[in-house]
């Protein structure tokens, strides 16, 4: 995998704080694109082959990660947090986190946990509600914390522990959901054979997906694509309960045929299946209880053909997740084939198979 993937997961960027990720993407998109467009919320995309008379294809990741914000500062100097995105409280205890100050530097902290010694009287309980967690940055008082540059509303991100598995096939990191899709946009623009394109292509990433798919609403309206492809990490259950539609690490990209907000367009499903089988690209089916930006995109203007190409990932929406390099290759391969294949005839065929 290219260095852009490690670079992007290492940056901080919870919802509404995506500027460091966006700045990195803009730097790359400006080198690779004919034009760079940005909506008023901060979603950013690079466009290529824009003189084409073909359909407009939009490929989108999202820049924001799950994390927290500073909600208050206690008298004893510890920090009151509020969750940004869906986080199970169970993953928080004793985790290292960083408050991102206004100048972009980090103030490290640890989420406080009661040791067993303080729980033996059977009246005390381990903190289990997000609202009760304290982030301890080593400040002695609220004034001390403020003197360190801590302010209400600053983002708090998990300490990254980026590393590869011992077999070299898997990669652990925070924020695969969804810096993977953000990096994939750059990756595609670097490697796509532009001589094969019969469509206009905009590739980039949205803001604020984790808090209601907000960026996709405005960016899709701005670009007005004929076909929208969300690229997002989807949770694998194979560690705990392997199922036919739960996602298995290493078994190929995910065709998300159902989620509560986007039932997959049947013409899109057939198009992706046929293309994957023609080119021997491994895929698996996925049924989700959550949504992606495809749900927002499909309702833009008069309706948009939309799909999600899923990257299998274990343990998303926690401090660290895991992906497989073979799945990365499968995702990239199907995206390249889709984008290189799409023209007005393909769009017409997809629509006819609804």
The residues carrying an active-site annotation are 209
Q: Who's near 278: CB < 8 A, 6+ residues apart?
A: none
| Distance between start and end Cα atoms, the chain | 36
Q: How many CB atoms lie within 10 A of CB 242?
A: 11
The SS3 of residue 236 is coil
Would you put residue 181 in left (φ > 0), alpha (ψ -120 to 50) or beta? Answer: alpha
State which H helix or E strand residue 180 sits in: helix 176-191
Alpha helices by DSSP H, listed for 192-287, are 214-223, 266-278
Distance (Å, rounded) from C-alpha 257 to C-alpha 308? 9
Query: CA torsion angle for 254, 255, 258, 259 (degrees, to 10)?
Result: 50
- CA 206, CA 22: separation in Å to the nearest integer? 9
Structure tokens at 211: 């808090």
Q: How far is CA 207 from the centre of its chain?
A: 10
Angle between helices 176-191 and 325-341 (to 10 degrees): 50
- Coil, strand or helix at 306: strand
Rounded Cα–Cα distance for residues 275 and 294 (Å): 20
Gap between the Cα atoms of 181 and 94, Å rounded:
29
Nearest in space to 216 (alpha carbons), one of 308, 123, 103: 308
Supply the Cα-derived Rg of the chain in whole angstroms. Answer: 21
């Amino acid at each position: 995998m290219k260095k852009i993937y490690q670079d992007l997961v290492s940056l901080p960027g919870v919802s509404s704080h995506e500027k460091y990720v966006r700045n990195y993407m803009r730097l790359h998109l400006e080198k690779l694109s004919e034009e760079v467009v940005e909506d008023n919320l901060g979603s950013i995309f690079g466009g290529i082959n824009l003189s084409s008379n073909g359909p407009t294809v939009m490929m989108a990741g999202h820049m924001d990660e799950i994390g927290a914000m500073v909600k208050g500062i206690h008298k004893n100097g510890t920090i009151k947090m509020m969750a940004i995105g869906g986080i199970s409280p169970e993953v928080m205890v004793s985790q290292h986190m960083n408050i991102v100050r206004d100048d972009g530097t980090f103030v490290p902290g640890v989420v406080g946990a009661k040791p067993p010694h303080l729980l033996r009287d059977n009246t005390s309980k381990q903190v289990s509600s997000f609202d009760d967690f304290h982030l301890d940055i080593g400040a002695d008082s609220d004034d001390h914390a403020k003197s360190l540059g801590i302010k209400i509303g600053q983002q708090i991100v998990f300490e990254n522990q980026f590393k590869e598995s011992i077999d070299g096939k898997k990669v652990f990191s925070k924020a695969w959901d969804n810096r993977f899709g953000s990096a994939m946009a750059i990756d595609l623009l670097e490697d796509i054979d532009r001589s094969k394109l019969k469509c206009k292509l905009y590739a980039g990433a949205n803001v604020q997906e984790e808090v209601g798919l907000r960026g996709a609403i405005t960016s899709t309206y701005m670009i007005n694509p004929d076909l929208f492809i969300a690229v997002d990490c989807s949770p694998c259950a194979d560690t705990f309960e392997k199922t036919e539609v739960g996602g298995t690490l290493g078994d190929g990209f995910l065709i998300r045929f159902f989620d509560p907000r986007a039932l997959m367009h049947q013409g899109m499903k057939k198009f992706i299946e046929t293309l994957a089988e023609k080119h021997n690209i491994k895929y698996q089916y996925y049924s989700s209880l959550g949504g992606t930006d495809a749900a927002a995109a499909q309702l833009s203007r008069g309706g948009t053909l939309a799909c999600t190409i899923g990257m299998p990932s274990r343990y998303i929406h926690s401090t660290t997740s895991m992906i497989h390099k073979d799945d990365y290759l499968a995702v990239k391969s199907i995206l390249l084939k889709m984008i290189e294949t799409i023209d007005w005839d393909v769009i017409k065929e997809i629509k006819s198979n609804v």
